[in-house]
Amino acid sequence: MEFLDIVDENGEPSGGIIDRETAHLKGIRHRTSHLWLLRRRGGSVQILLQKRAENKASYPACYDISSAGHIPAGCGYVPSALRELKEELGADAQADELICIGRRTIVSDEIFFGKEFHDRQVSKVFVLWRDMDEAEFSLQKEEVDSVRWMDFDECFESVSNNTIRHCIAVEELMMIKEYLKNGGDML
């Protein structure tokens, strides 16, 4: 069973913990880390999309954040982001390579397989510049079907217009767009 910190509206732990299933059943606020991989190719910025495994309970076979996950109780945003990157994509990074571009609050009420799912997350959103080909990633097959680099502008349009099957929030792509517009670059 996976336990999560119960957090306030700013993502600060309140001192309580809850198991992940109960958090989603009752809509208890918890933390996640979202990590987007970027690279420059042919004069443009590309973004790595993860295609979720077919057997996922939520959003199977949809394009998603490069790497993301719930933060276990007692763990921080950055260590969790690095752990998820390693687990899901088999890639390594150092804490100082992650660039935090903001915080996002997620409130969602869904039904998956006939069960209520109330998601209340406070997420920190990071970017990581990493020039790797798709074949260089070691994918966690239980979680990830494949990865795909896409031109950032094309991704933004595809998600905004729902021309690809995805579970990506345009709000996060807007955060990345703002980061790039303000001179965001490889550090």
Q: Report pTM.
A: 0.94
The per-residue pLDDT for 52 is 97
The per-residue pLDDT for 187 is 41
Residues 138 and 92: beta-carbon distance below 8 Å: no
Tens-digit pLDDT profile for the chain (187 aa)?
Answer: 899 999 999 999 999 999 999 999 999 999 999 999 999 998 999 999 999 999 987 889 999 999 999 999 999 999 999 999 999 999 999 999 999 999 999 998 988 767 888 899 999 999 999 999 999 999 999 999 999 999 999 999 999 999 999 999 999 999 999 999 998 765 4
List of residues 6+ apart from 139 with CB closer than 8 A = 88, 89, 90, 145, 146, 147
The per-residue pLDDT for 184 is 78
Per CATH, is 3-181 categorized as 3.90.79.10? yes
Q: Taking the domains of the chain in order of start, what are their residue ranges? A: 3-181
Q: How many CB atoms lie within 10 A of CB 134?
A: 11
Closest by CA position to 163, among listed 175, 172, 150, 174 = 150
Alpha helices in 27-162 (DSSP H): 77-84, 152-160
Handedness of CA 141, 54, 34, 38 (dihedral sign): positive
Decide: helix, strand or coil at residue 72. strand
The per-residue pLDDT for 169 is 95
The per-residue pLDDT for 113 is 67
The per-residue pLDDT for 111 is 81
